[in-house]
Amino acid sequence: MENLIKSKILENAESLFQTTISEQQVQLQKTRKDVEGDLTLVIFPFVKMMRCSPLEAGAKIGDFLLKEIPAISNYEVVNGFLNLVIGNDFWVEQLKTINDTANYGLVAPNSKAAIMVEYSSPNTNKPLHLGHLRNNFLGYSVAEILKANGHKVIKTQIINDRGIHICKSMLAWQKFSPINESGERETPQNTGLKGDKLVGKYYVEFDKHFNTEAKAIITNWEQGQFDAVSTEVKDEFIRLTEAKAGKDEKAVKGIDDKIKDLAKNQTSILKEAKEMLVKWEAKDPEVYALWTTMNQWVYDGFAVTYKEMGVDFDKLYYESDTFILGKDIVEKGLNSGVFFKKEDGSVWIDLTADGLDKKLVLRSDGTAVYMTQDMGTAVERFNDFNDLSGIVYTVGNEQDYHFKVLFLILEKLGYSWAKNCFHLSYGMVDLPEGKMKSREGTVVDADDLMEEVVKTAFEMTKERGHIEGLSDDELNALCKMIGLGGLKYFLLKVDPKKRMKFNPAESVELNGNTAPFIQYTHARIQSLLAKSAMDLSSIAPSSINDSEKEIIKQLNDFPTIIAEAGKDYSPAVIANYSYELVKLYNQFYQSVTILNESDESLKQFRLILSKNVATVIKTAMRLLGIDVPNRM
């Protein structure tokens, strides 16, 4: 209808306005709910050219559209806005079209450019946590939404399986893992602990010893003992200590943090971890064997978690492979003058002319940094997929600057596709008690959280009843569907850019903007359809009411909503659309009779309307990675 109105106005612009106009001047929007109408045309752009008041201009355009478009039944001009009423027959025809359209709302598969969506991308030194849940659900859903928009999509992750943080877990396991009576250190097999959790335990253990040693070093410095450090470190400590004089509490804390960092860099345990990293990059047999073993423990643990999450990947990349290509790219960049080398042998790029800063791309000891491997990963992906048009990186907003630099470096290296790389930046997830800290072991473990929401869903389902006749397996499957659906929806209904606070109990509530509220409506409709046993092939109601019309309008918006969600990379658009649709349907359901309606044509219409609401709910929720039950 919007396109028809636009085309009629553009075709007849000379007679209406005595001049030609652009499509951008024809501004249509949904009519406000407090006035009558379905579509509103903004009159102000035409008032001057029509040389009359907004009221007169609106009336002239309204009369013209009434004559040209039979589906428009009435209009009203309010303060420079032309509110158009579209007749019920048009909406009935729209429902017929929706009902007859297979895969309604979806664009033909693989009809658009190939896009890679990266998500999860965990470190192999700890288990997945609440933040990873938002990342995985967001990345997976964006991939599904892009598919729905016709794109060929490759889902991937880059597994951060190398670096100093990985060596910290490895070293801590070597130094602090107890030896049992069989002479074995702790393993997933002899402890029964999931592999990623075991490795994460030693990442926390490293940090405990790291902090204890740093604290002892600071105590020695405060007592004037500088025997084990260079003159430069001693002078820096004295300078920082003296700088605290006269400063407020906040400034003193900042200086103390710098002193801690200075001390941490002098710890023997960190020096050992750095030495292990150098040995790993040199393929030292003992270090490499330990790395392979502990990483496999983590991969096995991750596989269990991903299965429970309901996410998958088409291809995996490993930093242990891509950093090598990254080093080659750095060498080529040095030869072409994109990078420069400092006296200590480290390699940098100067981006100050672009409003950024100088960025390290290779350490002085020849080891890679994140930027090195990210360059290598990007290039390898485009080498692997010749039809790839761009990459969407699902990474938290603390990495905004990193990706700005990465994309700019790739452009300077001559990779034209860099302009099609996008950082899907999302806000952190907070707990009621504050931020999570993985080094301190204060994270919300992903496995534990998923288990908790399923358990809560089970308890709430038993309290509500309506589970008669369900076997134990069916009940468990239903509670898992409700619990995980609630968790996913809660994390996806918020705009990705916004920071959010997680409330597990609220996520499985049956009322409000939650997945269980939407899932329950789908189950209600399936029950209704099962009881009807009526032929649903004909749509010819004797009349329709306002609530029915509003539902059809909402259904009619679904393809536009999918397109908007794809354009904005935002599952929140789908989630909140679904909630609004379900609210409209429940208002309708409470206000009319359906199965007991005496008018057969009206009963049939309401059942078909209900069926299409259920279909759109199921499609929309699938794009969020959420299943919907037929009984609840």
Q: Is 297's pLDDT higher than 90?
A: yes
Nearest to 476 by CA among 495, 454, 491: 454
Distances 222 to 128, 151, 230, 240, 425 between C-alpha atoms, Å: 39, 62, 16, 12, 43
pLDDT of residue 464: 77
Token readout for 477 is 């499957």
Of the pLDDT bands very low, low, confident and very high (cuts 50, 70, 90), residue 436 is very low
Q: What is the pLDDT of residues 207-225, one digit of tens each?
A: 999 999 999 999 999 999 9
Q: What is the pLDDT of residues 606-631, one digit of tens each?
A: 999 999 999 999 999 999 999 999 98
Of the pLDDT bands very low, low, confident and very high (cuts 50, 70, 90), residue 438 is very low
Q: Is 257's pLDDT higher than 60?
A: yes
Amino acid symbol at 592: V
Tokens 């969506």 sit on residue: 117
Cα separation, 354 vs 489, whole angstroms = 40
Of the pLDDT bands very low, low, confident and very high (cuts 50, 70, 90), residue 433 is low
Contact between 621 and 521 (Cβ < 8 Å): no
Q: What is the pLDDT of residues 494-547, one digit of tens each?
A: 999 999 988 888 888 888 999 999 999 999 999 999 999 888 888 989 889 999
Taken in order of first residue, the domains within the chain and their CATH numbers are: 2-86 (3.30.1360.70), 159-228+266-429 (3.40.50.620), 448-623 (1.10.730.10)
Sign of CA dihedral 269, 272, 274, 280: negative
Average pLDDT, stretch 331-352?
Answer: 96
Quick one: DSSP state of residue 19? Answer: S
Contact between 327 and 333 (Cβ < 8 Å): no
CB atoms within 10 A of CB 38: 20
Of the pLDDT bands very low, low, confident and very high (cuts 50, 70, 90), residue 228 is confident
pLDDT of residue 510: 87
pLDDT of residue 377: 95
pLDDT of residue 280: 93
pLDDT of residue 437: 47
| Residue 568: HSE in the Cβ half-sphere, 13 Å Cα cutoff | 15
Q: Is 439's pLDDT higher than 70?
A: no
SS (H, E, C) 239-262: HHHHHCCCCCHHHHHHHHHHHHHH
Token readout for 360 is 């390290």
